Structure 1
Amino acid sequence: MSAAPWDTLWLGGHLATMAEGADPYGTIRGGALAAKDGRIAWIGAAADLPGRPEELARRVVGLEGRWVTPGLIDCHTHAVFGGDRVEEWEMRLNGASYADIARSGGGINRSVALTRAAPEGELVAAAARRIAPLLAEGVTTLEVKSGYGLELDSELKMLRAARRLGAETGIRVRTSLLAAHALPPEYRQDRAGYLELVCRKIVPEAARLRLADAVDAFCETIGFTAAETELVFQAARDHGLPVKLHAEQLSDQGGAALAARYGALSCDHLEYVTAAGLDAMARAGTVAVLLPGAFYLLRETQAPPVAEMRARGIPMAIATDLNPGTSPARSLLLMLNMACTLFRLTPAEALAGATRNAAKALGLADEIGTLEPGKACDLAIWEVERPAELAYWLGGSACVGRVMGGVPAAWPA
């Protein structure tokens, strides 16, 4: 007898392929999915299988009526950092002002100091504990930004830690260099000097060492101007790295239009984006990454213009923005609910935001994000009656299995 053509065949359940089409979930009821060499080899209705399951695959897995989606993708996190900012959060709730907190050494400067002081291994271990709930919710791909080092060695240390985080947890990690996150204390009076450091040393070295998959920046009144951001984008382009941008979170700085001009993978936050910025994003194919956790924690009142994005056909992704200051969120499923409740996405749009559109935001649309032949066999298996439940329940996870590259993935410790 010839060798079975497939490594594993899943059947006896339902598939939410998330492929674009008439059905918002790309539903295949009574579906089957086969993997070979880590990739999806066949997908369709079980009734259409080209033979007996046991003759088609070395291993046959019964789904017992469960649902399968692509592995979830958290496409915007700051998961690697030293310490936390619980104390200042409590201070704010007790009436302290941001000025009071800054005078006491709080704010981003605290995260910078703690991250600079932390050994690389400590950063990896802390981040692994931090993302464990995400893995338990079916996350198989994670983006991690630097931006709490704000000098060459510490920024590179953060990026190395992010690479190690992927290797040690077994998930796919994409890294973004966010050295243009804030001015470090030692450059408070020398903006030009810090931008020169970012553009002439940090970006080139991160590119040379292949530690960064993209370059990000914070274009905002409390961050960097559009003109300063463009210098960073030019450096990224010179070194062959795509760009992303924290844009229009607190005010309109024209960042979305600038990022679109550089073919940005994504613009993130976007509460104050204008029609001109959206038009530019639509022309460039730039993904809008919505971050309801930060909107919630900061008690913002102006939501991103979702209806305008929808009308322009701009892909919308959803992410946790996991960070110590404004979104200590360790549940992507909760973000799906918040996106529906606070931003008025549909459950299907929210799930697309953590699969298909999140993959686009990372430049990985050809690799992950939908269940289609040829793509990586990264799966999440759910004990639900319908996919909308993934955005419905508050708390807990209905995920009963993860698959990475066709292989069942261990639950995090």
Structure 2
Amino acid sequence: MRDDALGLVEDGAVAAKDGRIAYVGPRAGLPAHQGHVTDCKGAWILPGLIDCHTHLVFGGNRSGEFEKRLAGASYEEIARGGGGILSTMRATREATEEALIGAALPRLDALLREGVTTVEVKSGYGLSLKAELKQLRAARALPGAREVSVVTSLLAAHAVPPEYAGRRGDYARFVAEEILPRAASEGLADAVDAFCESIAFTLDETAMVFEAARRCGLPVKLHADQLTDGGGAALAARFGALSADHMERSNAGGIAAMAKAGTVAVLLPGATLTLRETYFPDIAAMRATGCRMALSTDMNPGSSPVLSLLLMLNLGCTLFRLTVAEALLGVTRHAAAALGLKDRGVLEEGMRCDLALYAVEQPAELCYWLGGNPCLGRVFAGLPA
């Protein structure tokens, strides 16, 4: 029995060879084979989940700012007072690369236990050449400690560091001319991200960083229209960005441009919940234009201290009113597209055999339950993880 949206197959089977899917379909059609056989005992098999927007590697935490927000302070007020990203910057600069790796692993493990097999990790808490490269090296080291794929994004254009106070444009130029080329030359970044916002960087400054990314042959992503409708979605589309993320205030024109450009909208309900946002992404416009939607944790110490991608499935449905199919595609196929990965996120022959197994009766349960973890195990590149 098949479902038009998700392509569900009951009593199905998946076979792998050399880390790739060699067969997927009804068990009755499974070709004769040799090798190891695993009886999943009725579990649902999904593509390995993909968390396509995280700030997993950082120093310290900001629980104190959480208390301030509970007392009425806004995210913007805290940032302008020297907290927010700059608070984490100080802790990240002080930490050694080994300390950053050690702090990130428990956070990563929480995702892996839920069936995640690919994670994007951003820099953006170093805000200096040395510290940004340190963050990226720490992210690159994670697959050596765990069975996971890590995609890195350089987010040096995240905030203006204290040494560039009052010289935001100069810092954006430093990112474009110094940090970005160095990260690219050392092979530390798979993409370039930026925070285009009233408290961060202007459209022109962001465009300057994106032009530098083009020169270095790196695709771009964008933190867009989170606090204001500043035209970030349209800018992302103009540069053919892999994704524009947040989009709480993006207008319908920008969304239409993204759909035409193939740019994925990455929705981050954890930030919406934590910041008690009253603006939600325009899901109707995304559906109307065919703009693909991904879901992610936005795991970070300030605005989205989220350790569960399964929770984001529920919040995507309950807060943003996604359908079950939209939510599940948002952490598999569309999340892969948001990272420019064409070899995963869907169960098809020839794709990477990254799988997640769940003890549920229907996939809708993955979006339905709040708390708990029905993941029975993962398969990574064809082998049990």
Question: TM-score, structure 2 length as denominator?
Answer: 0.97
Which residue identity does 1:267 align to in structure 2? A
Of 166, 177, 180, the match for 2:143: 166
Q: Does 1:64 align with 2:41?
A: yes
Q: How does 1:246-265 map to 2 (within 5 A)?
A: 246-265=223-242
**Residue identity (%):** 61
Going from structure 1 to structure 2, the CA distance change for 1:111 and 1:258 (only over 3 Å counts) comes to same
User: Aligned partners of 2:78, 2:281: CA distance in 1, in Å?
Assistant: 28
Whether the 8 Å CA contact 2:75–2:275 is kept in 1: the answer is: no
User: Aligned partners of 1:102, 1:353: CA distance in 2, in Å?
Assistant: 30
Shift of 1:97: 6.4
Which residue identity does 2:306 align to in structure 1? A
Going from structure 1 to structure 2, the CA distance change for 1:22 and 1:92 (only over 3 Å counts) comes to closer
Of 144, 157, 163, the match for 2:134: 157
Q: Does 1:405 align with 2:367?
A: no
Partner of 2:15: 34
Of 51, 54, 71, the match for 1:74: 51
User: Aligned partners of 1:209, 1:98: CA distance in 2, in Å?
Assistant: 34
Which runs of no fewer than 5 residues in structure 2 stay unpaired?
Answer: none
Going from structure 1 to structure 2, the CA distance change for 1:384 and 1:98 (only over 3 Å counts) comes to closer
User: Aligned partners of 2:151, 2:34: CA distance in 1, in Å?
Assistant: 32
Q: Does 1:108 align with 2:89?
A: no
User: Aligned partners of 2:82, 2:340: CA distance in 1, in Å?
Assistant: 37
Going from structure 1 to structure 2, the CA distance change for 1:363 and 1:90 (only over 3 Å counts) comes to same
Q: Does 1:385 align with 2:366?
A: no
Shift of 1:257: 0.9
Whether the 8 Å CA contact 2:168–2:201 is kept in 1: the answer is: no
Partner of 2:370: 394
Q: Does 1:294 align with 2:275?
A: no
Q: How does 1:308-387 map to 2 (within 5 A)?
A: 308-364=285-341, 366-387=342-363
Shift of 1:302: 1.1
Please provide the CA RMSD for this pair. Answer: 1.6
Partner of 2:68: 91
User: Aligned partners of 1:96, 1:294: CA distance in 2, in Å?
Assistant: 16
Of 216, 225, 240, the match for 2:202: 225
* Number of aligned positions between the proteins: 385
Shift of 1:101: 5.0
User: Aligned partners of 2:105, 2:230: CA distance in 1, in Å?
Assistant: 35
Shift of 1:167: 2.1
Q: CA deviation digits over 1:34-69, x for unaligned, max 9? A: 000111011111111233xxxx12111111111100
Q: Displaced runs of 4+ in structure 1, greater than 4 A?
A: 95-105
Q: Does 1:144 align with 2:125?
A: no
User: Aligned partners of 1:32, 1:317: CA distance in 2, in Å?
Assistant: 26
User: Aligned partners of 1:402, 1:221: CA distance in 2, in Å?
Assistant: 41
User: Aligned partners of 1:148, 1:106: CA distance in 2, in Å?
Assistant: 12
SS in structure 1 opposite 2:35? Answer: strand
Shift of 1:295: 0.6
Shift of 1:106: 2.8
